[in-house]
Chain A
C-alpha cells in the first residue's frame, strides 16, 4: 500500500533534553496507527512536529506527506493539507454553543457577519456524522465528556481531513463512550480516512488499530504491522518484560475500621436528584476496597462528600471510625478523623503545579513540619527527600517544579502528600488515570504495601481490570446507590456490568459534566 506519511530521522531537542532522537515512522493510507509509549517517550512531541506546532527548522529530519516533503510553519499549514490533530485536553469553550465551537476561528461569514443558519445547518450535518444527537445551539458546557469529545471530532471533520491525529481520545471517557468513539473511528476508516491514535489503553488499540509504533525515550523501538500480544507491547514500552501487571496480593484483613450509614447527598443543581443515595458500607483494616461504576454513578461524589462534605448538599448519614462516630463536616475535620482523599483531577484539585515537590508534600500536614506556626525548612526538606526516595519520585531534586514532572510522578507526589498526613483511611480516586504502565505498577505496589502496613484503602476506578487486579472487595455503584458488594475473588467484569445494568436505567445520557462538578465543589 502507498504511504500517506513518512517521517524520517526526526530529532527534536529542547534545552538540555533530546525529546526525539532519530524517529522514523511510515503510515499507510487508510489505516489506524497506534502510537504507544510511556509518558515522556515523545509521542506528543512527535505529533506536534507533524502538525506544525513545532515549525519546520526547529527539528531535524524530514516529513513526506503524500510523497512530497513538507515544511510546515504552523498548524494552519498542516490543516490546509488535511492533517488535523485533536489534543488530549479538549480545546472547547464551555460557554459557547456546539456550532460556535465547531466553527471557531473558521466562521462561516460574509464580510465578518456570521451566517447562523448556514453554521447550524453544517453543524447538524457534522453531528449526524459523529452520531451526536444534540441541537447545534446546545452549550458545550452542558455536555458530558463523551459528547464533548464527539464535538471535537466534529470540529476536526469540519475541515478537510485526510489524516486525523487523536491524542488519548478516550482518556476521560467511560467505557460506553469509549466504545462508541472507537466504532466511529473504524467507520471513518471505511470511508478512507487515515488516523494516528496515541493511547495507553492496550485493549482499545487491539480493538481498532491496524498497526502499532512504540516509542521509548524519544526513539522508535518497534513497528508491528498487525496485532501483537499486549505483553509484547508492554515489553517494548517499558524496555523490560512485565509478566504481572499487578503486584501480588497477600491481604491481612482485620477488624472493621470505618462504617458509613445512609450517606445521602443531594445535587445542588438539579432539584430532587441525589448524587449519593443512602450509601451504607464498611471498610476493614488492611483492606483495599474498590468502587466500580460508570462515570456519573456518584463514586467521586461519595468520596468527596465523606471528605469534608466537599461536594453537593449533605442530607444525612453517619460515619464511625473504630466504633466512634466521627464528624466529617469540613476537610480539616475529615483529615483529623484519619481520612485522606487523593483526587482524580490531580492538576486542578491535587497540586500546586507551579510549586516544588518539597512545598507540595507537606501541604495537608503543615503541622508535621512546623513548631508553633514556624516551618522548619530542614525538616521539610528531609520529609520531601524521604518520600522521593521511598516511593521513587523521579526528579532532579525535591526542588523541581511540579509542572515539569510526568503524570506518574505528579501522582506519586500527591500520594506522598496524603501519606504524610498519616491517614488511616485513604480514598484514591482514579489513582492511575493518564499515567503509563510502569508508573501504574509502582502505584499499585504502593497501594498494596499500605494495605499490608494496616491502612485501609478505597480505590475508585473506571478501569475494571485495575479494580479486579488490586482490590480485595468491590462495591458497585450506580445512580448514587450502592448496588453490589462482592469479594474480588468472585468478581468479573461481566458480573459487575450486569449488576449495573440490572440496577436501573443507565445514566450515560446524563453524565455529569466537569463544569457541574466544579460548580458543586465551588458551591460548598
Chain B
C-alpha cells in the first residue's frame, strides 16, 4: 500500500480522546457499572462488607490476570492456570494438613513449585515452538488429573488460622484496636498521595520538555477520581475491619507488574515479541528466554492464586479453579489486550477483572440466576472486543 497519511491531529482534545478512547473507555465503563449496580442494589454494592467481599472474591483472578496479560501480550495463551492453581492448592494442603509443615515454608515451596510447572510448559513453548494453546491445553488436563490423583478425589482441610489469613485476614492495626484502623488509613491514603505525586511530577517533566499530550482537564479529572476513590474506599474499609490482606497483595502485584510492563526493558521486550517476533529477534532480543520467563512467572502467580483459593475455601478440593482460566483470559481481553499480541495494559486487565467481579457480585445481590449471569458476562466480553475492533478499523 503506497497511500498512507502522515497527518494526524495531535494535542487537541478531540484527537486525544480518539487516540486514548480504549483506556478511558474501560475506566468509564467500570464507573458506569459500579454506579448502575450501586443504584439498583440500593447501595448494597458499596457497603463496607460488600466492598471487602468483592476483593476477597476476585483476588485470585487479579493475581492471575497480571501474569496472563504478559503472556497474551507476548502473543501466547495459558489455558492451564485453573488446573495449576488447583494442583498447587492441593499440594499445599498435603504439606500443611498431612505433613504439618510451617505455613511460611509451604507458601515458598508452593510458589517454587508453580514456577517449575510454568517452566515445564514454557520450555516446550519457547524452545520447541509448540503452540502455547496446545501445550497449556495438555497442561490443563494433566494438572487437573494430578489434582484428583494427589487428593484421591477428596477435599482436604481445614487449614490452620494463619494460612486462612492469606485470604480472609485483615491487616492488623499497630496503633491499637480503635476505629478507624489507623494503619489502613496510612497505607491507603499514603498510596493515593504517592500516586498523585508521581503523576504530577511526570506531567511537570513532560511540560518542561513540551510534550504534554493529555489535556489538563483530563489529567485533573482522572486524578481527582482516582484520588477520591482510593481515599473514600480506604476510609470506608478502615471503619469496617481494615484493609484485607488480599488487597495489599493485589496492590503490590499490580503496581509491580504495571511497572515491569511499562517501564522496564523486560516489559518492552515482551511487547516487541508480541508485536513482531521476527523484528524483535533481529533486534537482538532473546525471545525464547523471555517467553520462557512469562510462563515461569505465570506458573508462580497461578500457584499464589491456588494458595489464595484454598485459604478462602479453607480446603483444597479436586474441582477448585475449574474454569478460572476463562475468567482470567476474559479479564485480560476486556482490559483491551489484543489476541494477536503486542497490545494490552496491566491496569486494563485489572479493571477488566473488576468489571467481571462487580457484575458477578451485583447480579448475585440482585438474585439473578447463574444462567443469566453467564449470558451477560459472555455478552460483555463480546461487546468489549467488538468495541476494540470497530475502534481500530475506524482509525
Using a CB–CB distance below 8 Å, which chain A residues touch chain B? 14-17, 19, 39-45, 88-89, 167-168, 198, 307-308, 310, 331-332, 334-335, 341, 343, 348-355, 359, 362-364, 366-367, 370, 373-375, 377-378, 381-382, 385, 394-397, 399-400, 404-407, 409, 417, 434, 521-522
Residues of B within 8 A of A355 (CB): 271-272, 275, 342
Whether B4 lies near A40 (C-beta < 8 A) is yes
Partner of B5, one of A348, A359, A374, A404: A404
Whether A364 lies near B284 (C-beta < 8 A) is yes
With A and B bound together, what is the CA distance between A310 and B266 in angstroms? 22
- Chain A CB within 8 A of B34 CB: no
A381-B211 contact, Cβ under 8 Å, with A335-B284, A352-B272: yes
Closest to A359 in B: B268
Whether A407 lies near B2 (C-beta < 8 A) is yes
With A and B bound together, what is the CA distance between A228 and B81 in angstroms? 68
Closest to A14 in B: B5
Residues of B within 8 A of A39 (CB): 2-4
**Smallest Cβ distance from B267 to chain A, in angstroms?**
8
A348-B7 contact, Cβ under 8 Å, with A370-B264, A373-B265, A374-B263: no
Residues of B within 8 A of A310 (CB): 281-282
Whether B2 lies near A353 (C-beta < 8 A) is no
With A and B bound together, what is the CA distance between A385 and B283 in angstroms? 20
Given contacts A88-B1, A355-B271, A407-B4, 13 further A-B contacts (CB under 8 A): A39-B4, A44-B1, A310-B282, A331-B281, A331-B284, A331-B285, A363-B268, A366-B269, A373-B266, A396-B7, A405-B6, A434-B2, A522-B129
Whether A352 lies near B279 (C-beta < 8 A) is yes
Whether B276 lies near A44 (C-beta < 8 A) is no
A370-B3 contact, Cβ under 8 Å, with A352-B280, A397-B10: no
With A and B bound together, what is the CA distance between A23 and B370 in angstroms? 60
With A and B bound together, what is the CA distance between A373 and B284 in angstroms? 16
Whether B263 lies near A351 (C-beta < 8 A) is no
Whether A405 lies near B4 (C-beta < 8 A) is yes
With A and B bound together, what is the CA distance between A351 and B342 in angstroms? 12
Closest to B11 in A: A397
Partner of A332, one of B9, B129, B213, B286: B286
Residues of A within 8 A of B2 (CB): 39-40, 43-44, 88, 167-168, 198, 406-407, 434
- Chain A CB within 8 A of B161 CB: no
- Chain A CB within 8 A of B99 CB: no
Whether B3 lies near A404 (C-beta < 8 A) is no
Indicate the member of B2, B6, B265 with the most A CB atoms within 10 Å: B2
Q: Which of B353-370 contact A (CB under 8 A)?
A: none
Whether B211 lies near A363 (C-beta < 8 A) is no
With A and B bound together, what is the CA distance between A367 and B160 in angstroms? 47
Residues of B within 8 A of A373 (CB): 264-266
Residues of B within 8 A of A359 (CB): 268, 271
Q: Which of B322-375 contact A (CB under 8 A)?
A: 342-343
A353-B10 contact, Cβ under 8 Å, with A44-B1, A44-B3, A406-B4: no
In the complex, per-residue mask of B270-295: 1 if CB is within 8 Å of any chain A CB, else 0? 01100110111111111000000000
Whether B9 lies near A16 (C-beta < 8 A) is yes
Whether B282 lies near A343 (C-beta < 8 A) is yes
Using a CB–CB distance below 8 Å, which chain B residues touch chain A? 1-10, 129, 205-206, 209, 211, 213, 263-266, 268-269, 271-272, 275-276, 278-286, 342-343, 394
**Smallest Cβ distance from B47 to chain A, in angstroms?**
40
With A and B bound together, what is the CA distance between A43 and B271 in angstroms? 34
Residues of A within 8 A of B206 (CB): 378
14 contacts between A and B (CB under 8 A): A44-B3, A88-B2, A168-B2, A198-B2, A351-B279, A370-B265, A373-B264, A381-B209, A397-B10, A405-B4, A406-B2, A406-B4, A407-B4, A417-B283
A366-B268 contact, Cβ under 8 Å, with A307-B282, A331-B281, A381-B209: yes
Residues of A within 8 A of B286 (CB): 332
A352-B275 contact, Cβ under 8 Å, with A16-B5, A399-B213, A404-B5: yes
Whether A396 lies near B10 (C-beta < 8 A) is yes
With A and B bound together, what is the CA distance between A137 and B145 in angstroms? 47
Whether A378 lies near B209 (C-beta < 8 A) is yes
Residues of B within 8 A of A367 (CB): 265
**Dominant secondary structure of chain A at its interface with chain B:** mixed
A331-B282 contact, Cβ under 8 Å, with A40-B2, A370-B264: yes
Whether B283 lies near A354 (C-beta < 8 A) is no
With A and B bound together, what is the CA distance between A375 and B1 in angstroms? 34
Please list the 5 inter-chain residue pairs (A to B) with the smallest Cβ-Cβ separation, ordered nearest first.
Answer: A352-B275, A366-B265, A364-B283, A396-B8, A44-B3
With A and B bound together, what is the CA distance between A384 and B272 in angstroms? 17
With A and B bound together, what is the CA distance between A12 and B206 in angstroms? 37
Whether B264 lies near A374 (C-beta < 8 A) is yes
Closest to B10 in A: A396
Partner of A353, one of B6, B8, B209, B275: B275
**Smallest Cβ distance from B273 to chain A, in angstroms?**
9
Whether A351 lies near B276 (C-beta < 8 A) is yes
With A and B bound together, what is the CA distance between A332 and B285 in angstroms? 7
Residues of B within 8 A of A399 (CB): 10, 213
Partner of A349, one of B5, B8, B279: B279
With A and B bound together, what is the CA distance between A375 and B272 in angstroms? 14
Residues of B within 8 A of A89 (CB): 1
Residues of A within 8 A of B265 (CB): 366-367, 370, 373-375
A350-B282 contact, Cβ under 8 Å, with A16-B8, A363-B272: yes
Residues of B within 8 A of A521 (CB): 278
Residues of A within 8 A of B7 (CB): 16-17, 396
A409-B6 contact, Cβ under 8 Å, with A355-B275, A359-B268: yes
**Smallest Cβ distance from B294 to chain A, in angstroms?**
16
**Smallest Cβ distance from A218 to chain B, in angstroms?**
9
Closest to A304 in B: B282
With A and B bound together, what is the CA distance between A359 and B274 in angstroms? 14
Whether A40 lies near B6 (C-beta < 8 A) is yes
**Smallest Cβ distance from A453 to chain B, in angstroms?**
23
Residues of A within 8 A of B282 (CB): 307, 310, 331, 341, 343, 349-350
Residues of B within 8 A of A198 (CB): 2
With A and B bound together, what is the CA distance between A405 and B4 in angstroms? 6
With A and B bound together, what is the CA distance between A348 and B281 in angstroms? 11
Indicate the member of B10, B264, B268, B282 with the most A CB atoms within 10 Å: B282
**Smallest Cβ distance from A341 to chain B, in angstroms?**
7
Whether A354 lies near B268 (C-beta < 8 A) is no
A378-B205 contact, Cβ under 8 Å, with A40-B6, A42-B3: yes
With A and B bound together, what is the CA distance between A97 and B284 in angstroms? 37
Whether A17 lies near B279 (C-beta < 8 A) is no
**Smallest Cβ distance from B275 to chain A, in angstroms?**
4
**Smallest Cβ distance from A348 to chain B, in angstroms?**
6
Residues of B within 8 A of A407 (CB): 2, 4
With A and B bound together, what is the CA distance between A350 and B277 in angstroms? 10
